Structure formats: C-alpha cells, structure tokens
A = this chain, B = another copy of it.
Amino acid sequence: MAVKRNGGQGKRPPRVEATAQAGRKPGGEPSLSLERIVATAVELLDAEGIEGLKMRQLADRLGAGVMSLYWHVGNKEEVFDLALDAVFAFLDQPQTDDVEDWRKGVVRMLEDWRAIMLRHPWSASLLPRRALGANILGRLETMSEALSRAGVADADMNVAIWSLWNYVLGATVTRASFALSDADQAAGQERLSALSERYPTIERTRLLLDSDWDGTFRKGLDVLLDGLPRG
C-alpha cells in the first residue's frame, strides 16, 4: 500500500503477508498489525494534533509495549507517511466520465480533497513534507485525466495541476491553522484594534475577520479554473 517501507537499514524484514496464525490473541484483542497501527495513529493525530503523536502513547492505545511498534515500522517518520497516505484513500467512485461537466467533476474532487484535509488538520501541513504515497498519486492521476478530457493539453498540464495543488494546499493549510490558533481569538481581536491605524486597508476590508472560508475558497477556485488554457 505504501510505496516505501522500513526506511533505510532495516535489519529485519517486515512481516510478510499471512503466515496462517496471524489472527488474534486468545484474549480477543487483535494482535498488532500495520493496519491497526496506522488506524490508531490517525485517531491519535486527529485527537492530539501533529506533535501530540507520541510513540509511547500510540503503543498504549494499542495495548502493546512501545518497542513492539518498531517491528512493524522503521521509525516515527514512517508512521507519519503511512497515516498521511491512509487518509487519502479513495472512498467513493471516481466521478463519471461526463465530458460536458468536467468542471463539476474537478470542483468535486478538489472540494473532497480539501474536506479530507480539514477533517484531519494535521494532514495539510504534513502533505508537502512527505513523499507522495500511492493514494495521493492516485488522486493526482485521476485529476490529470479529468483535465485532459476537458481539453487541457499535455504541455499545459503541469501548470494546471500544480496551480490547483498549490491553491488547495495553501487554502487548507491556512484555514486549518487559523482554526487552531484562534483559540486565542481574544488576542487576535485586541491586536486588530491596535492595528487600525497602521493597516487601514486590512482593517477596512476586514481581511482577518472573513469567516466564509468555503465561499472564498470556491470563488478563488473558479478564477483559477476559468483561466486554465484549454484547447
């Protein structure tokens, strides 16, 4: 599922598929497995955020000793890689082949992408730092195909894909972190008042108070899609 596993040296081979008795402990608890580790890591990241993921706590939740994790996983970095790609697994069918409504399809894909990252706010900030996993590449592929059908020439494809990627990533990362750091919204307000003289335009347009994230996202996306060069 993941492209690379067991980071670098890997003194021991990771587990092979099913060696017959891989099932569950007598107790009833399913024994450790990559799948369980990754799923629990996602839970933990959702609950505690990106620096709330500790190997010890992860092991605790799994009812195992810390070091047991290291048989399945090379190091903590790998847990991040796997959790990240896991979140981008496809759930629903890739959109229909409706050539007419390429745009609706593309918007749907990008909003889906954004929704996932907002549901797992750690994923947006992790995304650029990590290698692209299979699911992420799959999404880029589906996206490229849709744009290709819509008439975007191969020569323009990189600009198209990267522009959309950049936009979605930037929007989501910003939104996710604003939502978090506005725990101190009080401080934000206070600062904003002191601001009015030095930043009149920001004050006038209420830039920092815009809370219509979805609408603003969609409008900017429309600008981008309108401008894509298509044959």
Where the two chains meet, the residues of A that have a C-beta atom closer than 8 Å to any C-beta of B are: 3-4, 125, 128-132, 137-138, 140-141, 144-145, 148, 154, 157-159, 161-163, 165-171, 173-174, 176-177, 181, 184, 187-188, 191, 195, 198-202, 204-208, 210, 216, 219-220, 222-224, 226-228
From the candidates B140, B187, B206, B220, name the one contacting A166 in the complex (CB within 8 A). B220
Q: Contact: A166 with B163, CB < 8 Å?
A: no
Contact A205 to B165, CB < 8 A, known contacts A129-B125, A173-B170, A224-B227: no
26 residue pairs from A and B, CB less than 8 Å apart: A4-B187, A125-B125, A128-B174, A128-B176, A128-B177, A131-B187, A137-B195, A137-B198, A137-B199, A137-B202, A140-B199, A140-B207, A144-B207, A145-B201, A159-B223, A162-B210, A163-B220, A165-B170, A166-B220, A167-B167, A169-B169, A169-B170, A222-B227, A223-B223, A224-B227, A226-B227
- For the residues of A in contact with B, the DSSP-based class is helix
> Across the interface, which residues of B come within 8 angstroms of A208, CB to CB?
132
Q: Which residue of B lies closest to A222 (CB)?
A: B227
Report yes or no: A216 in contact with B181, Cβ–Cβ below 8 A.
no
